[in-house]
Amino acid sequence: MDLRGYRFFTLTLALAFACGDGADTEEMSGSTAGGTNSGDGESNGTSDAESTGDAESTGNAESTSQTGDGDGDGDGDGDGDGDGDGDGDGDGDGDGDACVDLSGRDFGACASVLGIGRIGDGCTWISGCGCEEDCGGIFEDEEACVTSCGAAGLCRQEAFVGAGIAADGWGGGDFCDRLTVCTDLVPQASVLQRFPGSSCDAQESCGAGGVVCELEVSDAISPAELASLCELSLLPGEPSLTGLVFG
């Protein structure tokens, strides 16, 4: 083979290798790209599936948290007010603040004072061994009981005693020349808290060691004043509020 033939053979062989490398490179690149795309597709699909699973799991958790007591408020105590203390009044303190008539309830023969609660049309101190499910209707003091029951609309009408030409009784909107209460059953502090302008005369005794307090009210007893009088009427011992009209 002469020199020109050798050069031609060498050039042909070089071109053949160059073309083969390009095809292989392109095929490899295509394979790599295809593999990458396929991997991304699988990854995205897996991620979406997992995300859907998580959402379902969360839904189940929410459903579980809302069941248990059946009242729909989610606190688990069954009273429906959502505060979780079980007494049904919504303030979360667990003391009840509920004016529930506890007449006929058996608290046991113990002498321990449990508190004060509504018995019939007034508040009465309660003793016994325990209150159990009735604890929500028992208060720590007289003011708490009469305030709660007054707000619930309870009023002992027979406490409004008439005198003079008002002997047949009196109530809201009526005029009294003199409206008094005896502190043997109604604490003076309770009177002055509701009727700050009232005066209590130590020289005018009444009941079992009490004194007469004259209440300062409007010419015609207002709804707010009547509500306060109703609260006083609920105090233990069934106190009387005397309205006198001279005529």
118-151 pLDDT, tens digit per residue, is: 999 999 999 999 998 899 999 999 999 999 999 9
Instruction: Give per-residue pLDDT as tens, 21-39.
Output: 444 434 333 433 344 343 3
Q: Is the pLDDT of residue 51 over 60?
A: no
Query: Domain check: are 167 and 140 in the same one?
Result: no
239 and 193 fall within a common domain: yes
Choose one of 123, 139, 154: the last residue of a domain. 154
Residue 162 and residue 241 in one domain = yes
227 within some domain: yes
Residues 236 and 166 in one domain: yes
105 and 136 part of one domain: yes
Q: Which of 108, 128, 154 is the last residue of a domain?
A: 154
Of all residues in the chain, the percent with pLDDT exceeding 90 is 50
Going by the DSSP 8-state scheme, the letter that residue 106 receives in this structure is: -
Q: Give the mean pLDDT of 97-115.
A: 92
pLDDT at 33: 39
Residue 245: strand, helix, or coil: strand
165 and 114 together in one domain: no
Q: Measure the CA angle with vertex 173, ends 169 and 175; round to 5°.
A: 65
| 179 shares a domain with 108 | no
pLDDT score of 41: 39
How many helices (H) and strands (E) would you count in the chain?
4, 8
* CA nearest neighbour of 140 among 187, 77, 185, 93: 93
19 in any annotated domain: no
Provide the residue range defining the domain that includes 139. Answer: 94-154
Using the structure block, give the residue that is written with the tokens 């159990």.
Answer: 132
- Give the chain's domain count: 2
Please state the pTM of the whole predicted model.
0.61
Largest pairwise CA distance in the chain = 156
31 within domain boundaries: no
Assess whether 140 and 127 both reside in one domain: yes
In a domain, 184, yes or no: yes
Q: Average pLDDT, stretch 199-220?
A: 91
Phi, psi of 120 (to 5 degrees): 70, -120
Q: Does 136 share its domain with 104? A: yes
Residue 197 pLDDT exceeds 80: yes
Average pLDDT of the segment spanning 99-107: 93
- Distance separating alpha carbons of residues 223 and 11, to the nearest angstrom: 118
Which of the four pLDDT bands, split at 50, 70 and 90, describes residue 227? very high
Q: What share of the chain is helix, strand, coil (3-state, %, to 5)?
A: 40, 15, 40
Alpha-carbon distance of 183 to 190, in angstroms, equals 9
Same domain, 131 and 170: no
Please give the mean pLDDT across all residues of the chain: 74
pLDDT > 50? residue 16: no
The sign one gets for the Cα dihedral 52, 53, 54, 58 is positive
Is there a domain that residue 109 lies in? yes
Q: Does the residue 37 lie in any domain?
A: no
For residue 41, is it within any domain?
no
Residue 246 — pLDDT band, cuts 50, 70, 90?
Answer: confident
Asked if residue 217 belongs to a domain, the reply is yes
3-class DSSP state for residue 97? coil
Identify the pLDDT of residue 100. 94
Question: Do both 147 and 173 map to the same domain?
Answer: no
In sequence order, the 6+-apart residues with CB closer than 8 A to the CB of 244 are 162, 163, 164, 166, 176, 177, 178, 179, 180
Q: Is it the case that residue 210 has pLDDT exceeding 80?
A: yes
Judged against a pLDDT cut of 90, whether residue 82 lies above it is answered with no
Same domain, residue pair 225 and 165: yes
Residue 224 binned pLDDT confidence (cut-offs 50, 70, 90): very high
What does the alpha-carbon distance between residue 230 and residue 224 come to, in Å, rounded to a whole number? 10
